Structure formats: structure tokens, C-alpha cells
Amino acid sequence: MLLIKGAEIYAPEYLGKQDVLIAGGKIERIGENLPKYEGCAVIDGNGKIVTPGIIDRHVHITGGGGEGSFHTQAPPVELGKLIEGGVTTVVGVLGTDGISRSVENLVAKVKSLKEEGISAYCTCGAYGYPSPTITGSIDKDIMFIDEILGLKLAVSDHRAPNVSVDELIRLASDVRTAGMLSGKAGFICMHMGDDKKCLQPVFEALERTSIPIKTFQPTHVGRNANLQADAFKFAKMGGTIDITCGEFEKKTNSVATSLRAAKEENVPFEKITLSSDGQGSWSNYDSEGKLTEMGVSKVDTVYRQIVHQVKNEGMKLEEAICLGTSNVAKALELYPKKGAVREGSDADVLIMNADLSLNAVIANGAVMMKDGVLCKKGTYEK
């Protein structure tokens, strides 16, 4: 058992100064002056802040990239880097390369991260179509493989398979039904590119069918003004949109600008999530489509963006933290198991210092970081 004493609790709603008792990997009790049971470890939370752990819904856990040939393939994610970014739950995805990388490899990495102590899920599919799977069908992957929550697909991108609206409808129908049958979200994680079509294929699919809007979950929606405008329209219709933090030093202000614009246009903030695109490559191309620049995104950028929003944009912590916790959990239909500090939730907790620097990370009740120092690393991390 573990008792956090006297911290300011953001659940993510502000609960004031309370104690948090953790037992059996769950949050057992929240209250004032909770007793210390025999054998219970205690963390002094005085002057500190407790929030839910970050849920990063878009990480290339087996490595992304490769668009500049084999030597540009990014390496797999390391557990320690996730913990340092406050990530206690991760969703792994494939990207452009669904050829040398496989869904089998992705699920294996998910299982390894779970064995190392954090919660992990993934999607089947990649950019291409037909979508790569393990069982030979998307719906069977979602229904029978516990870790698979949905499907990845590229839309409106020069690397996309350019599926027709009819094909998009069929995919959405399969994903939706498999999700219903397996008690999962059953969604399409849509990598959005810079094509001028933006979200028009999705709007047409929604117009022509009764498939719920929650089935379509576009990411990278802040990459250009036209796509962002479509995304804001989509969110006002009830859909969830995901903004990529990506290469933090270059995108900090652009993400903040997108969030500011969303607020000005009355986009419901509960329908916005942040993700890192971690271990994926960021790339720039010239007018002829030739690769000019490439790098690898880090996995700490959701946390860093949340801190930036509070410190530099004047956003309240209880609003900013939702973008990487409760909003994500609700979109993935994992709430309140994930994304909340409440009795009965998984004990995925961040402890921040007063300046919002990360002091401790607790995942599934286990202390992974304490006093800013990693307590747990991946099997082969030094």
C-alpha cells in the first residue's frame, strides 16, 4: 500500500488538499487525514500536486519513420522515456511503414511495456489499405486481441492509400461493430495529411450513414489552417480531434495557437486531445515532394505542452491536464478506469512540484519515479 499525504488533488477537477490511499494497483480512498496502515509506504505531498497520469494515444512504440530509406527508421520507445514524460498509459500505432513493421511486432511491444509496468494498447492497421492485421481481418483483431482498440488509417495525405468514401464507410462499419461486440471503443485513428480534401471524406461518410461520429478520430489536425477549420467543425458536431505536440521546440507555439483558436471559436474542449506522435518521424518536403528534413519526436511533449499552457497561456491546470488525461480516456472509452484520480480508478498518478516539474510517477500502483529520479527502467535500459 501507498499513502500520499496532503497534496493538492486535480482529479482532473480540483478537489483541494487531500490524502490518496493506493492499494492493489487501484486508488482505494481519497480523503482528509486518512490513517496510515501497517506496512504502508508514505509520500509527503505537502506543497505538491497530484494529477492523473498522461495517456499518450499516438506513439510509434516500435519506431516510426523510414521515409528517407532504411537508415531513417526510428528506434523503438524506451520505458524510461515514457515515465520521464509522465506517461502511464500508451497507445501504440504503426505509420507509413506497414511493410517492414508489423502488427505482430506492435502487439509484442505492447505486451513488453505492460510487463515492465505501464498500461499499453495499440491499433491494427497502418497508413495503407488493405490494413495489416494479425488474424486476417480488422474486426477479428479488435474483437479477439485484448490490446487492440481500433484501426489506424491515413487520410488526405500524399502517403495515404486514397480509399474511397465507400471503402471508408465499410471500414468504419467493421470497426464500429467489432468495438461493440468486444466492449471497446472501436475507432479509426485517422492520420490526417495536408491534402486539400481535409475531412471531407469523413463528413460525406457521416452524411450517408448512421455510423456514430465517435468512430472517426482524426489526429494531426493542427497541421494547416484548412484542416484545422474542418476539425473544429467536426468537434462541434460531437467528434474527438487530436492535436499533435510533435517536435516540441518547433510546435509549442503552434499547438498553443490552435488551442487558443479553439477556445475563441467555442470548440468544446472536452472533445480535444493531445498526443506526442512519439518515436515517429517529423519530416518536411519541397515543392516536388522530395524529403528535405527529418527528425524523431519525443514522448514527453504532451506533459511539456500542458505545463506550457498553464505557465505561458494562462490556462487553468484542471483544464490543461484534461487534454492528456480524462479527454483521452473518454475518447478511448477507458474512463474512469484511466484518466481520473478517483476511488476505484487505476492508480496511475503524477506528483508535481509547485512549479509543475515532475516529482513522481506512479503506474498501476507502482512507484516508477520518485524525487525526479527513475525507479524503473526498461529491461535493456542502462
Quick: pLDDT tens for 106-149: 999 999 999 999 999 999 999 989 999 999 999 999 999 999 99
H-helix segments, 45-84: 79-84
Looking at residue 278, what DSSP letter applies? B
Give yes or no on whether 2-51+341-374 and 54-331 have one common fold.
Answer: no
CATH architecture of the domain formed by 2-51+341-374: Roll (2.30)
> Which is the CATH superfamily of the domain at 54-331?
Metal-dependent hydrolases (3.20.20.140)
Those residues with Cβ within 8 angstroms of residue 201's Cβ, 6 or more apart along the chain or in another chain: 155, 156, 163, 165, 168
Q: Collapse the DSSP code of 15 into the 3-class scheme (helix H, G, I; strand E, B; otherwise coil) and give the result.
A: strand
Extents of the domains making up the chain: 2-51+341-374, 54-331
Average pLDDT of every residue of the chain: 95
Residue 281 has pLDDT above 90, yes or no: no
Catalytic residue, chosen from 174, 242, 277, 300, is 277
Yes or no: say if 88 and 339 are a contact pair by the CB < 8 Å rule: no
Give the pLDDT of residue 284. 75
* 277 flagged as catalytic: yes
Give residue-wise pLDDT tens across range 314-368.
999 999 999 999 999 999 999 999 999 999 999 999 999 999 999 999 999 999 9
Dist CA 382 CA 378 (whole Å): 8
Q: What is the mean pLDDT of residues 182-194?
A: 97
Residue 252 has pLDDT above 80, yes or no: no
Yes or no: say if 99 and 68 are a contact pair by the CB < 8 Å rule: no
Dist CA 271 CA 115 (whole Å): 31
Q: What is the mean pLDDT of residues 11-23?
A: 98
Residue 299 has pLDDT above 90, yes or no: yes
Q: What is the mean pLDDT of residues 267-291?
A: 88
